[in-house]
Structure 1
Amino acid sequence: MDTILKLGVPKGSLENATIALFQKSGWRIKLSSRNYFPEVDDPELSCSICRPQEMSRYIESGMLDAGITGKDWTLENNSDVEVVADLVYSKVSNRPTRWVIAVPGDSDITRIEQLEGKKIATELVNVTRRFFSQRGIKVDISFSWGATEAKAVSGLADAIVEVTETEATIRAHGLRVIHELMQSNTQLIASKEALADPWKRDKIETIAMLLQGALRADRIVGLKMNVPREKLDLVIDMLPSLNAPTVAQLYKQEWFSVETVISEHQVRDLVPKLKKSGAEGIIEYTLNKVI
């Protein structure tokens, strides 16, 4: 039985965010500037750095057992792999990214139907081709090796299909979004062969559980405080929580320790109210994982 799991880590914009997520989940991946095989503090893992655009192909072929890539690139490659977990994070935020259709700001085009017979530049060729084909709109799609926004600005294309999180880059190039083609997010994917191996399946599912737990803990904090008996019900009624607050009586005291987990944005408004209601020794602490 092979007790080494070959794991792909995405190169490029997702690289640092992925390594940070793994660290929060319990794995330290150490990169070297000239090495595509980073060190990892788990003897059961072997890591490789791969472009997200190629990840699903390497996994489908058996070169890797599992890896992190975007839903968009798995669809683009039409790869026969299994999605183990959706992991919604990116280099900017924990939100899905968007593939949008954009045109120059001074273009008369406002609807996708007006792109009939027009030239479109994109890196996501196959998905874009299927999108327009399903709607019966004939367009000329060309592959863009990068700097896609410039294709529309310079007149090399009438429109582009490009990925964005905030649309800041698109607007900075004087372009205007006319349609959202699809949303995408990062995913942990695995080969069917790896998932058929009980040991590898267990390892992959463990990684998925801990990664999702780390993401679930993002912007969630723990809140702990001491509350006198006569104020306990008042304070408990004020506390949001995932399930219910944990309450424990202090040793030989008429005071209670109260602990809960809440969204980070609630803390600034809640803590002053708790203090006024009789809570003392209020502690806020970060969470690594919520399983």
Structure 2
Amino acid sequence: MEKKLKLGIPKGSLEKATIELFEKSGWRINVHHRSYFPEIDDEEIECAICRAQEMSRYVEQGILDCGITGKDWILENDSKVHYVTELVYSKVSKRPARWVLAVPADSNIQKLEDLEGKKIATELVNFTKRYFSERGINVQVEFSWGATEAKVVQGLADAIVEVTETGTTIKAHGLKIIHELMQSTPHLIANEKSWADPWKRKKIEQLAVMLKGALRAHRLVGLKMNVAKENLEKIVSILPSLNAPTISPLYESDWFAIETVVAEDVVRELVPKLLEGGAQGIIEYALNKVI
């Protein structure tokens, strides 16, 4: 029987970024219009698209062997899954998503205890209930289908628990953040039985290595150059690198080839210094993965 790994791709805000990350990692995923089962150029993998909010439940139940979802939804569902690796990526930034407690800017609610007996609107209902219960604070938590910030403005709730990166949208709605409940990043998770299966575990670990390698390469570039022997130490002293630059002698010459990996945004300052130091034939090239 042919072995297959069932992989979950998150639908919604992370979908495009996830597919782009897989492409950079070496897998092409083709999503057909209105299809929840995209094609992937790996005969050992079957893909399914589902909401990030539901991903951990499907992985826990074994409907999927593994999948990518936020830590927030794993905790919300209280899912028993194996955390394979963290994958910090986003369409906008590489900052974690923050679940925060917000109230009207003119509210006299200043701390968690001030919410005793109050109503909170959120999409993260189960986690929020547990969070306040563990602190002995009695609150009423109601599910919000969206436009959560408006619930407070309209007087439908005393506070909200909402996800944000910068807090800009929350402030724009006339609210203020008074507490952060948690930070969440995407994770590759696996079903416990699938992780115990040697073949599936090896395949999941392959995914993890390549995905992490693609993420490490973000905003990094490679630099190559030629340097005369008398300028070698000067050039090496100004070169940043992950560990140390690679230096190789050129054939029958007093020149050396230097290769290193640097942050993309330092190249504009670095190249003029390298030229002043005597480097020649400088080449910058993109990186797909750093492992």
Bin the TM-score by the shorter chain. over 0.9
Give the structure 1 partner of residue 281 of structure 2: 281
Q: Deviations over 1:87-119 (max 9, x none)?
A: 111221122111011111222222222111111
Give the structure 1 partner of residue 31 of structure 2: 31
Q: What secondary structure sits across from 2:271 in the alignment?
A: helix
Q: Deviations over 1:236-280 (max 9, x none)?
A: 111111111001122222211101011222222221111111111
Give the structure 2 partner of residue 191 of structure 1: 191
Q: Give the Cα separation in 1 of the matches to 2:103 and 2:91.
A: 25
Give the structure 1 partner of residue 86 of structure 2: 86
Q: Which runs of 4+ in 1 moved over 2 A?
A: none
The residue identity in structure 2 corresponding to 1:174 is G
Q: Give the Cα separation in 1 of the matches to 2:159 and 2:101.
A: 7
Q: Aligned pair count? A: 291
After TM superposition, the score normalised by the length of structure 1 is: 0.97
1:160 is displaced (CA, Å) by 0.5
Q: Where in structure 2 are there 5+ consecutive unaligned residues? A: none
Give the structure 1 partner of residue 73 of structure 2: 73
Give the structure 1 partner of residue 213 of structure 2: 213
After TM superposition, the score normalised by the length of structure 2 is: 0.97
Give the structure 2 partner of residue 99 of structure 1: 99
Give the structure 2 partner of residue 49 of structure 1: 49
Q: What secondary structure sits across from 1:183 in the alignment?
A: strand
Q: What secondary structure sits across from 2:36 in the alignment?
A: strand
1:170 is displaced (CA, Å) by 1.2
Structure 1 window deviating more from structure 2 (202-211 vs 148-157): it is: 148-157
Q: What secondary structure sits across from 2:289 in the alignment?
A: coil
Q: Give the Cα separation in 1 of the matches to 2:227 and 2:262.
A: 18
Q: Give the Cα separation in 2 of the matches to 1:156 and 1:286.
A: 51
The residue correspondences of 1:109-188 to structure 2 (distance < 5 A) are 109-188=109-188
Structure 1 window deviating more from structure 2 (203-212 vs 108-117): it is: 108-117
The residue identity in structure 2 corresponding to 1:116 is E
The residue correspondences of 1:265-280 to structure 2 (distance < 5 A) are 265-280=265-280
**Does residue 230 of structure 1 match 2:236?**
no
**Contact preservation (8 Å) 1:92, 1:165:** no
Distance 1:2 1:123, change over 3 A: farther
**Contact preservation (8 Å) 1:97, 1:183:** yes
Q: What secondary structure sits across from 1:92 in the alignment?
A: coil
The residue identity in structure 2 corresponding to 1:226 is N
Give the structure 2 partner of residue 5 of structure 1: 5
Q: Give the Cα separation in 1 of the matches to 2:85 and 2:264.
A: 25
Structure 1 window deviating more from structure 2 (187-196 vs 126-135): it is: 126-135
The residue identity in structure 2 corresponding to 1:172 is A
**Contact preservation (8 Å) 1:229, 1:255:** yes
**Contact preservation (8 Å) 1:120, 1:160:** yes
1:4 is displaced (CA, Å) by 0.6
Q: Give the Cα separation in 1 of the matches to 2:36 and 2:266.
A: 42
Give the structure 1 partner of residue 252 of structure 2: 252
Give the structure 2 partner of residue 58 of structure 1: 58
Aligned-residue CA RMSD in angstroms? 1.1
Q: Give the Cα separation in 2 of the matches to 1:236 and 1:93.
A: 32
1:199 is displaced (CA, Å) by 0.8
Distance 1:172 1:33, change over 3 A: farther
1:2 is displaced (CA, Å) by 5.0
